[in-house]
Amino acid sequence: MSDDIDIRGGGAVAVDTVTLRHAADGFASLAAELSEIAGVVRAAGSDLRTAPRSVAELAYAADTVRFAVDAAIDDAHALTGALRAAAAVYDVVEARAERAAAEAAGDLELVALIDARLAALRLANPEAEGRATLDMFGHWLRWPGELAGQASGALWWLMPGFHSLAFPIAWALQRMVGSVRAGTVPATSRLPGRAGDVVVQPIAARQPATAPTSLAGIARRMPGGGAARVRVERYTMRDGTRQFAVYIAGMQTMAPQTREPFDMSSNVELYTGDRSASFDATLSALEQAGAEPGDVVHAIGHSQGAMIAAHVALEGGFDTRTLVSFGSPVEADLGAGTLSVNIRHTDDPVTALAGGGHAQAVGAPGSFVAERAADPLPGPQDLRMPVHGMDAYTETARLIDASGDARVGAMRRLFDELGAAASVDVTEYSATRILPMPAPAPQPAPEPRVSPSASGGG
């Protein structure tokens, strides 16, 4: 198991422009203050050179200090320029993503406005556009690398003579998924239709009614494996308001169209943009738990459950303030009101279906993507896909908690907020799909009965 965690803001160029420009302004101010100090030291050195021999040697010490200050000024100016350049690169990436969305929607007026903004960015920062192109191309090349690199080792156990073909085939398949953008869910996405009838029933919760205190604690609460498919925690805050946390299981069976709504049929429906029985089951569980339109919801899901959680955030009718995804095959373009925490393994074939995610970061400020190679050594165990299971993702969540990374701060504040609730009520729910009754088999037509008079003649 690898302990190397990559935590970043998300997207091809993962930076927070507000923070970068604030830091750049700070270094610029520091350079100005150091320049004043350098001037004072320079003047003191000049005075010391005209002083009696007993103190003239101090001039050399003053020069040493001045050289150090000048070097610090140069470093501060360099950091200021690098930070502002990085912010400009992200501005270009973000503008390009907005332009692509506007062009896809046919909004030519918005396209023209974005083109004007790109022209202004190009004029102000001539190098930013080229760097943005290179960074996006690097992201395009890089994200399929881990899974493709392990493919040859895994295939060696099955087809030793063909394992050398595994890398290019695996890389090309992932790039094909990325090119069709099936795994990137736009902000306007809605699941059409009606999936069918599903029965959702409350069952006894497995864990006590307490607020989570860590990402690993969240991961350990995920339902699935037993009868539970959805877990809902209702928090009554000290001011009388309510918040809900919903935990949504992943796929439970590979079979299609079963009584289990969290099956392969629901997987395919959600990934291709159709409504699923598992999505309806989740909304029903929230309704039974007392969640009403506009209530604050924190949505957590694994695999298929992460797709459901994304659509709860986009179209559930709630004030979804948090989306935590484990091993999601999609990445949703969430608005600035939803904190997005996307935890994925670079060697997980399911997360490869997201096609590398969106080019730009998604979600509220403080959102992040955390990645690692959960099992970097390929072998026959890869055929069971243990890197996609919740045990592996729980370990990744534990490593994120232990990292002390500042970008996890928004989640820590959420844990503190929920921990201050006056009371917590927990219910878990089972779900069963109602299959349509099979049509009755056609019965053979009855043979005509012949009366005695008809058969007797005469």
Residue 253's pLDDT is 94
- The pLDDT of residue 457: 42
The enclosing H or E element of 425 equals strand 423-433
**Radius of gyration of the chain, Cα coordinates, nearest whole angstrom:** 30
List, for residues 384-403, the tens digit of each pLDDT value.
778 999 999 999 999 999 99
The residues of the chain scoring below 50 in pLDDT are 156-157, 162-163, 454-458
Contact (Cβ atoms closer than 8 angstroms) between residue 358 and residue 333: yes
Taking Cα atoms as reference points, which of 400, 369, 403, 364 lies closest to residue 18? 364
By DSSP bridging, strand 423-433 and strand 198-203 are antiparallel
Residue 340 φ then ψ, to 5° = -110, 120
User: Among 240, 245, 241, 238, which residue's Cα sits nearest to residue 211?
Assistant: 245
**What tens digit of pLDDT does each residue of 142-174 get?**
555 555 555 555 554 455 554 455 555 555 555
pLDDT for 135: 66
How many H-runs (helices) and E-runs (strands) does the chain carry? 15, 11
Biggest alpha carbon distance in the chain? 160
pLDDT at 251: 96
| C-alpha span between 274 and 394 (Å, rounded) | 29
Please return the burial class of 368, using the count of CB atoms within 10 Å of its CB with bins 0-12, 13-18 and 19+: buried
